[in-house]
């Protein structure tokens, strides 16, 4: 299966998921606004999501996929099934124990995570209750990652990507269901998160069974590969933990800011994560198997081609998104969230944070591609060091910017730390992995930047005429915003075509890593 088809499959389903996430956020902001329950729900969901990313995303796939793929290729279907069954057994026991410990010490943990909230307050009590309801979703997501990894190894990318939709469907239904017998709709949302995790695991387990892998508990003598997986996962979790620590630090600081700051940051972060989520997950999922195979086979030239073309695709698609979110931040926030209990004042307060976040989009995507290369090379130490560097940079700029910029200062500090991490990984790529960003790729980067500048100028000019329409709100604002975005995108594509910024799409390199 070619890389293009894999990216389209994963990216397509991820696009549907991200669009449904927008629908979820729109309904959530309309119903909860930016008040106490909105802040509490945002904190609880962000904490659960950080744990999910810690255990169930990149670190898990990077640890599991190479081992499982190698056993399947060299020793056959039955040995691979036994390996997966043993990993399933020990993962289930481990996450169950961790979940029990989390629930026992939840109040103390949240006392640190939301240190700015008075622990004797009503707000803190709601945070504890909602957070506990959400917590089992973390355990379910780890099992979902296991089954999804098996399917990805079998080149069955659609179902793991599509299963993400279950969360948003359940949450949207819960928002329309209202508070039921709970104090707030935020509680109904938490129950929906819990149930969505159970259903997601069941759906993926069934699909794995349909594809020939019947996974059940297996307490037989532990295979060496299971021990290797455990060691790699532990190392990967530490690395991922460094990256998630950056996010947790942001929310700890946010808890000290006035009510509403957490919600602004949460909603804006989801807007800025839209292109990252689609492309980042798609590229990391689709790039890891071929680059791992090329590096294991000592075919560094193919691995380098794969990485460079992946970088070109990533930058080509994130630069226009950066321009749009930077120049149209307030109309974008207004169009997405500006209704119901999310007032024009909330829109105005949230928009600057989107400007700050958007400046990190290209480097965040580039870092995703670089990290995939390091993981494929079985190097988790270099991304770990880059993550540690990012934490110190983030802390420095938080201390410098938050006193005057509030939640926007946290967003800007996150962006600056991402740039430092990306530069660090780029500097170590050749030495650690034996591949590099070649001169042809750098030349095309320059052309993509030129096309982006043309798009920026075009949008700035069009904004002079569209500004009165933005202030009217409603359908008028939506039409004006869409018109400006489409026009700017056309300019970007036209200049890109003229300069050759997109020539790699049908030039000498193909996304399958071969010269054409």
Residue 495 lies in a domain: no
pLDDT for residue 516: 41
pLDDT of residue 105: 94
Sign of CA dihedral 399, 405, 407, 413: negative
In a domain, 206, yes or no: yes
Longest distance between any two alpha carbons in the chain, whole Å: 71
The SS3 of residue 222 is coil
What is the predicted pLDDT for the residue at 386? Answer: 87
Please give the Cα distance from 501 to 433 (Å, whole number): 27
Residue with tokens 């967003």: 411
Please give the residue range of the domain that contains residue 87: 36-259
Contacts of 164 (CB under 8 A, 6+ apart): 13, 14, 17, 200
Angle among Cα 24, 169, 352 to the nearest 5 degrees reads: 15
The pLDDT value recorded for residue 2 is 55
Per-residue confidence (pLDDT) for residue 206, from 0 to 100: 92
- Position 138 in a domain: yes
Quick check: is 3 in a domain?
A: no
Buried b / exposed e along 211-239 (16+ C-beta atoms within 10 A): eebebeebeeeebebbeebbebbebbbeb
Tell me, yes or no, whether 377 lies in a domain.
no
Alpha-carbon distance values, 466 to 331, 337, 454, 456 (Å)? 10, 19, 18, 15
Inside any domain, residue 508: no
- Which residue ranges in the chain fall short of pLDDT 50? 1, 508-516
C-alpha angle 510-512-514 in degrees, rounded to nearest 5: 65
The 3-state DSSP class for residue 297 equals coil
In the block, tokens 């606004």 appear at 33
Q: Is residue 265 a contact partner of residue 250, using CB atoms and an 8 Å limit? A: yes
Nearest-angstrom CA–CA distance, 514 and 25: 41
Give the pTM: 0.76
Taking the C-alpha atoms of residue 51 and residue 48, their distance in angstroms, rounded to an integer, is 5
- Examine residue 56 and state whether it is found in any structural domain, yes or no: yes
Contact 43/127 with Cβ under 8 angstroms?
yes
Q: For residue 383, what are the CA distances in angstroms to 166, 216, 311, 344?
A: 31, 34, 17, 41
Q: Which residues pair with 324 in a beta bridge?
A: none
d(Cα 308, Cα 291) in Å, to the nearest integer? Answer: 11
Q: Is residue 248 within 8 Å of residue 113, measured between CB atoms?
A: yes
* Structural domain includes residue 195: yes
The count of structural domains within the chain is: 1
Distance CA 240, CA 380 (A): 9
* Count of CA atoms in the C-beta half-sphere (13 A) of 441: 18
Q: What is the DSSP letter of 164?
A: T
Q: What is the DSSP letter of 181?
A: T
pLDDT score for 197 = 93
Do the beta carbons of residue 481 and residue 473 sit within 8 Å?
Answer: no
- The H-or-E segment that residue 515 falls in is none
Q: Which pLDDT score, from 0 to 100, does residue 169 have?
A: 94
């Amino acid at each position: 299966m070619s890389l293009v088809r894999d990216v389209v499959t994963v990216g397509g389903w991820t696009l549907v998921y991200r669009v449904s996430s927008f629908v979820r956020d729109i309904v959530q902001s309309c119903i909860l606004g930016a008040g106490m329950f909105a802040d509490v729900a945002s904190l609880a969901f962000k904490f659960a999501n950080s744990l999910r990313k810690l255990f169930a995303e990149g670190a898990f796939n990077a640890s599991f996929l190479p081992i499982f793929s190698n056993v399947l290729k060299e020793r056959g279907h039955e040995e691979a099934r036994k390996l997966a069954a043993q990993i399933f057994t020990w993962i289930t026991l481990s996450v169950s124990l961790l979940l029990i410990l989390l629930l026992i010490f939840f109040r103390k943990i949240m006392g640190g995570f939301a240190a700015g909230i008075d622990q004797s307050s009503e707000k803190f009590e709601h945070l504890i209750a909602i957070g506990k309801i959400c917590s089992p979703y973390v355990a379910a997501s780890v099992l979902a990652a296991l089954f999804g990894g098996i399917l990805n190894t079998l080149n069955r990318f659609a179902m793991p990507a599509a299963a993400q939709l279950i969360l948003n469907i359940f949450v949207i239904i819960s928002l329309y269901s209202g508070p039921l017998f709970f104090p707030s709709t935020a509680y109904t949302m938490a129950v929906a998160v819990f149930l969505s995790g159970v259903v997601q695991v069941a759906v993926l387990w069934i699909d794995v069974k349909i594809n020939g892998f019947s996974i059940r508990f297996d307490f037989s003598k532990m295979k060496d590969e299971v021990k290797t997986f455990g060691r790699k996962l532990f190392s990967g979790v530490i690395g991922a933990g460094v990256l998630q620590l950056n996010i947790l630090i942001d929310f700890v600081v946010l808890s000290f800011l006035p009510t509403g700051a957490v919600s602004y940051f949460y909603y804006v972060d989801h807007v800025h994560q839209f292109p990252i989520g689609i492309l980042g997950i798609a590229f990391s999922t689709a790039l890891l198997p071929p680059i791992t195979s090329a590096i294991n086979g000592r075919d560094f030239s193919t691995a380098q081609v794969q990485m460079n073309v992946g970088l070109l695709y990533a930058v080509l698609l994130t630069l226009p998104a950066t321009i749009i979110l930077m120049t149209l931040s307030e109309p974008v926030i207004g169009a997405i969230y500006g209704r119901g209990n999310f007032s024009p004042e909330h829109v105005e307060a949230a928009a600057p944070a989107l400007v700050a976040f958007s400046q990190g989009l290209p480097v965040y995507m580039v870092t995703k591609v670089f990290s995939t290369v390091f993981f494929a090379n079985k190097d988790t130490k270099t991304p770990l060091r880059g993550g540690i560097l990012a934490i110190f940079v983030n802390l420095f700029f938080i201390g410098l910017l938050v006193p005057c910029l509030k939640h926007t200062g946290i967003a800007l500090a996150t962006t600056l730390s991402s740039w430092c991490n990306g530069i660090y990984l780029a500097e170590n790529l050749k030495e650690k992995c034996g591949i590099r960003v070649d001169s042809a790729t750098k030349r095309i980067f320059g052309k993509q930047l030129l096309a982006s500048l043309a798009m920026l100028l075009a949008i700035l000019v069009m904004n002079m005429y569209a500004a009165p329409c933005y202030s009217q709100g409603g359908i008028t604002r939506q039409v004006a915003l869409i018109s400006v975005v489409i026009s700017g995108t056309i300019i970007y594509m036209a200049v890109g075509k003229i300069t050759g910024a997109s020539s790699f799409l049908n030039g000498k390199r193909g996304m399958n890593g071969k010269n054409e």
